[in-house]
A and B are shown apart, each in its own frame.
Chain A
Amino acid sequence: MSYLIGEQLSGGYGGGADIIRDCTISVDKGQIAVVVGPNGAGKSTAMKALLGMINLREGRVLLDGQDISSMSPQQRVAEGMAFVPQNQNVFVTMTVEENLEMGAFLRRDDITETMEQVFDLFPVLKTKRSQIAGELSGGQRQQVAVGRALMTKPTVLMLDEPTAGVSPIVMDELFDRIIEIKRIGIAILMVEQNARQALNIADRGFVLVTGENRFTDTGEALLANEEVRKSFLGG
């Protein structure tokens, strides 16, 4: 049994139609799971379902064996799930350091050690700690966003298209960092547009089409799969 499982999830926004149907996604600690698929496949929705940001009609979410389906997103954050949204994922009017402090808002203990760990992971943030986050480059902002999420000392880190809109070099750099985070023993769940590169670093891959699981395998096997390559990876 995996650490975080979304089991046979069906649901959508408000009272609208189901965007995901019977969709199952899971990830273990120290693993990277990647959700890929064409536009409109419900990738982000599936991730938001795990965090409780959509109305689930069916299915349940288990964290460490515990059913958390009825918890609010905030409660799930307190339970160790951290989420980096795709857009507007930093406090643009606050400094880098304040962004990290806000990430640790729920914690009442000393956060300096965690902050040092984030600075070790993203050294550029240390040199820019007093700078306003809104003035940073796109790649640096993503680092702040991931750093903010790490401040809660989460067990699960969920990233919604972390490499959207950054250059290929920055993307490689960011993926390297994500692998480092995985090595601390955090479960990483990622939705990605850059499917090929993402599956390259994935321990587990989920190919979603129109809200349903089409393929589920290791990243390596999915990359080797003729049908996946043809349909989703451009040959």
Chain B
Amino acid sequence: MEYSTDLLNALVLVSNYVLIPALSYGSQLALGAVGVTLVFGILRFANFAHGEMMSFGCMVAIFTTWWFQSMGISSGIFPTAILALPFAILITGLLAVAIDRSVFSFYRKRRSRPVTFVVASVGVMFMLNGLVRILIGTDEIIFRDGQKFLIKAGAFKKMTGLSEGLALKQTQVLTFVLAVISVLVLFWFLRRTRTGKAMRAFSDNEDLSLLSGINPERVVLVTWIIAASLATLAGVLYGLDKSFKPMVFFHMLLPIFAAAIVGGIGQPLGAILGGYVVAFSEITATYAFKKFIKYLAPGDFVPDGLVQFLTTEYKFAVSFLILVLVLLVRPTGILRGKVL
């Protein structure tokens, strides 16, 4: 009896600190990685400005949220930012298209090499980063409102009688649900619609798609709009879940690229898998399992150390490690994408 309680406590503990956070963080990475992978598949370059696109989208959502709040508009128990999402997506989409028209289309016409595009995207990244910091400042911003918790740790303890509490934030559920919905819509779009199939054909074989009469500029346009929408969604969900800091999205570039490459670059499904692989690895590797082992170990055994593989400061090293391992062992990624 006592051991089964211990087992439940261990389970709740690991759900609270590893499973749930990794699911929501993984969803945010997955949304970001799908955008990177789509741009890579269609435009054939690694877009370093993707993280800043998330940042910009989140910033627009924050401004819109403040504007709504000043007019007294809210969405009840849900964060106002959810109402702001469509506006943020629209404006970020326009921005992405404007950047493509003014920067990337120039290099497309000259048929520049992919590395030229990558360097241009680094330029765009710095530009957007600066723009965001000028517009909204460099402070940390918490813009979440509405109901914070679906399940509170204390209430959970009281309800179950366990000594470990389980907290479930609304933003975590929202992140997961919105990520699943948008990914399903994206896959339906790519598999079933004419434009979606044209995008896949263009990614598969550019010359043959031109011979089939597919308009490359239209494919590129739709790709940017989708990438910007996913980036905005990912940025807003991340910002709601944690907080908004302009530099955070710059740091997120590494795990996002790791996710896209681990899954197989150019493969949307792979990017999603990759997002969860990276998130789970990062959080598992930086979680201290001391208490977990205490619950599971027989008798009164308590580990001496924290049983923590890496301290949380090193969480980005985990993405890097996964990236290096994948490139060494299986360069095409889980789902056999293109080789970089």
Question: A residues engaging B (CB < 8 A)?
Answer: 73-74, 77-78, 83, 85, 88-94, 98, 101-103, 105-106, 148, 152
Max count, chain A CB within 10 A of own CB: residue among B198, B204, B208, B209: B208
Give the distance in Å from the alpha carbon of A91 to the alpha carbon of B209 in the complex: 8
Give the distance in Å from the alpha carbon of A83 to the alpha carbon of B209 in the complex: 12
State whether B208 touches A152 (Cβ < 8 A): no
State whether A92 touches B205 (Cβ < 8 A): yes
State whether A91 touches B211 (Cβ < 8 A): no
State whether B207 touches A93 (Cβ < 8 A): no
State whether A91 touches B213 (Cβ < 8 A): no
Contacts of A89 in B (CB 8 A): 208
Contacts of A93 in B (CB 8 A): 200, 203-204
Q: Does B324 contact A (CB under 8 A)?
A: no
Answer whether A102 and B207 are a contact pair too, CB < 8 Å, given A74-B213, A77-B213, A152-B213.
Answer: no
Give the distance in Å from the alpha carbon of A83 to the alpha carbon of B205 in the complex: 14
State whether B213 touches A105 (Cβ < 8 A): yes
State whether A91 touches B204 (Cβ < 8 A): yes
- Dominant secondary structure of chain B at its interface with chain A: helix
Question: B residues engaging A (CB < 8 A)?
Answer: 194, 197-198, 200-201, 203-205, 207-214
Contacts of B211 in A (CB 8 A): 73-74, 77, 83, 85
Nearest B residue to A108, CB-CB: B194
State whether B207 touches A91 (Cβ < 8 A): no
Contacts of A148 in B (CB 8 A): 208, 212
Of B197, B204, B207, the residue contacting A101 (CB under 8 A) is B197
Contacts of B208 in A (CB 8 A): 85, 88-91, 148
Contacts of B200 in A (CB 8 A): 91, 93-94, 98
Give the distance in Å from the alpha carbon of A105 to the alpha carbon of B211 in the complex: 10
Distance (whole angstroms) from the CB of B222 to the closest CB of chain A: 14
Give the distance in Å from the alpha carbon of A78 to the alpha carbon of B194 in the complex: 18
State whether B210 touches A74 (Cβ < 8 A): yes
Listed from nearest, the 9 A-B pairs whose CB atoms lie closest are: A106-B213, A91-B204, A102-B201, A93-B204, A105-B212, A105-B213, A102-B212, A91-B201, A77-B213
State whether A85 touches B204 (Cβ < 8 A): no
* Subset of 19 A-B contacts with CB under 8 Å: A74-B210, A74-B211, A78-B213, A85-B208, A88-B208, A91-B204, A91-B208, A93-B203, A94-B200, A94-B201, A98-B200, A98-B201, A101-B197, A102-B198, A102-B201, A102-B209, A102-B214, A103-B212, A106-B213
Max count, chain A CB within 10 A of own CB: residue among B209, B211, B213: B211
Distance (whole angstroms) from the CB of B118 to the closest CB of chain A: 24
